């Protein structure tokens, strides 16, 4: 069972680090999201995906930037193709909002008119982008304490609001099984996330994490506080894994088709925030009594170089199919 950590408590740092070190995935409460705010974001997501196919395709992701729309099978998260059928690409649609400035919350990209020309929807999107940023900063602050970093400000200094980074808010829609080829087994292939931290709201089961050599289902939890939305899933990405020499490791995960009847007839929606540091941040171990200083032979990458490599493989930017 994944742990539930209350990030509104200033004392949660050690508990957060211990949960992250054990499993790479955890739940957070005390995030401050109300149920209606989450509803509002999923409503906006449905509006985006309900646009006609041709309209969505006008906002397609280019082959250089991680912003815009991807149609089904366009992305392959399991680039090693370990799962049956994953070579075909993932049966999911996404809208990625990136090139973010967290002072305004406005993505620097072409936006569908239902957002770009609708002030109310634009404000909603900007509000959530800023809120996700604030929650991720709270988590990083607690991690810096729990990790006993020699420079307690190191993380904070690399995640300033106006820094150019790979951070992105991503809306996802997974079609129902009857819209797909019956041999399709995965919804999102096995992968680790490329950033520092990932925050997730999910609306249907299906997420699984790889632990002790087996796939374990991540449940959806009810909130224990009627004023606050359900606990969010948080996971450690590759960059925190580099900075901590794998003390906090990025855990492999995937999305499968759940067996319950509701999941057979309703599409699955999820909302993900990928939190990345400034592009030029070097991915090397930080100084802490908990982190081994051992340097690997691997050439140190910057956050941007690591992200580019991963995106190029997943979106076939490198010419692979």
Ligand X SMILES: O=C(O)CCC(=O)C(=O)O
136 Cβ partners below 8 Å, 6+ apart? Answer: 159, 196, 197, 199, 273, 275
Q: Is 196 in the site for ligand X (CB under 6 A)?
A: no
User: According to CB under 6 A, which one of 17, 168, 255, 278 is a site residue for ligand X?
Assistant: 255
The closest residue (CB) to ligand X is 270
Nearer to ligand X, 137 or 270 (CB): 270
Token duo for residue 234: 């948080």
Half-sphere exposure of 38 (CA within 13 A, CB side): 21
Residue 310 binds which one of Fe ion, ligand X, none, with CB within 5 to 8 A depending on kind?
Answer: none
Distance of closest approach, residue 232 Cβ to Fe ion, in angstroms: 14
Distance CA 109, CA 97 (A): 8
Q: Which residues in 269-298 contact ligand X (CB under 6 A)?
A: 270, 272
Q: What residues form DSSP beta bridges with 191?
A: 253
Residue 172 binds which one of Fe ion, ligand X, none, with CB within 5 to 8 A depending on kind?
Answer: ligand X
Distance CA 73, CA 195 (A): 22
* Number of chain positions touching ligand X (CB under 6 A): 11
Residue 224 burial (C-beta neighbours within 10 Å; 0-12, 13-18, 19+) = exposed
Residues 187-216: x/- map of binding to Fe ion (CB under 5 A)? ------x-----------------------
Distance of closest approach, residue 23 Cβ to ligand X, in angstroms: 15
The DSSP code sequence of 36-65 is HHHHHHHHHHHHHHTS-HHHHHTTB--SS-
Of 14-22, 132-140, 199-207, 297-305, the segment contacting ligand X by CB under 6 A is 199-207
Quickly tell me which residue has 């929807």 as its tokens: 121
Distance of closest approach, residue 66 Cβ to Fe ion, in angstroms: 14
The DSSP code sequence of 167-189 is -EEEEEEE--GGGS-TT--EEEE
Nearer to ligand X, 205 or 285 (CB): 205
Residue 255 binds which one of ligand X, Fe ion, none, with CB within 5 to 8 A depending on kind?
Answer: ligand X
Q: Which residues in 166-185 contact ligand X (CB under 6 A)?
A: 170, 172
Q: Which residues are near Fe ion by CB under 5 A? A: 193
By CB under 6 A, name the binding residues for ligand X. 170, 172, 188, 193, 200, 202, 207, 253, 255, 270, 272
């Amino acid at each position: 069972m994944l742990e539930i950590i209350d990030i509104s408590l200033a004392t949660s740092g050690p508990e957060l680090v211990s949960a992250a070190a054990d499993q790479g995935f955890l739940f957070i409460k005390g995030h401050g999201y109300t149920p209606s705010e989450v509803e509002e974001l999923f409503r906006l997501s449905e509006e985006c995906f309900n646009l006609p196919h041709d309209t969505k395709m006008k906002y397609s992701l280019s082959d250089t930037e991680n912003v815009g729309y991807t149609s089904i099978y366009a992305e392959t998260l399991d680039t090693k193709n370990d799962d049956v059928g994953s070579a075909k690409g993932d049966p999911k649609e996404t809208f990625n909002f990136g090139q973010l400035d967290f002072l305004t919350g406005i993505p620097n990209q072409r936006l569908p008119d239902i957002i770009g020309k609708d002030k109310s929807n634009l404000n909603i999107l900007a509000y959530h982008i800023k809120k996700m940023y604030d929650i991720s900063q709270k988590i990083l602050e607690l991690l810096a304490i729990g990790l006993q970093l020699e420079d307690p400000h190191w993380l904070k200094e690399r995640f300033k609001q106006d820094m150019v980074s790979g951070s992105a808010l991503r809306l996802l829609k997974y079609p129902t099984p009857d819209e797909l080829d019956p041999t399709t087994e995965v919804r999102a292939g096995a992968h680790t996330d490329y950033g520092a931290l990932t925050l997730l709201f999910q609306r249907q089961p299906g997420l699984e994490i790889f632990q002790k050599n087996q796939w374990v289902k991540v449940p959806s939890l009810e909130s224990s506080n009627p004023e606050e939305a359900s606990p969010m899933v948080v996971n450690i990405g590759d960059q925190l894994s580099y900075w901590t020499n794998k003390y906090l490791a990025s855990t492999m995960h995937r999305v499968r088709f759940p067996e319950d009847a509701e999941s057979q007839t309703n599409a699955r929606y999820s909302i993900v925030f990928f939190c990345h540091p400034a592009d030029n941040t070097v991915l090397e171990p930080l100084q802490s009594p908990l982190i081994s200083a051992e340097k690997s032979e691997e050439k140190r990458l910057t956050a941007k170089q690591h992200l580019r490599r991963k995106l190029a493989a997943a979106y076939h930017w490198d010419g692979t199919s």
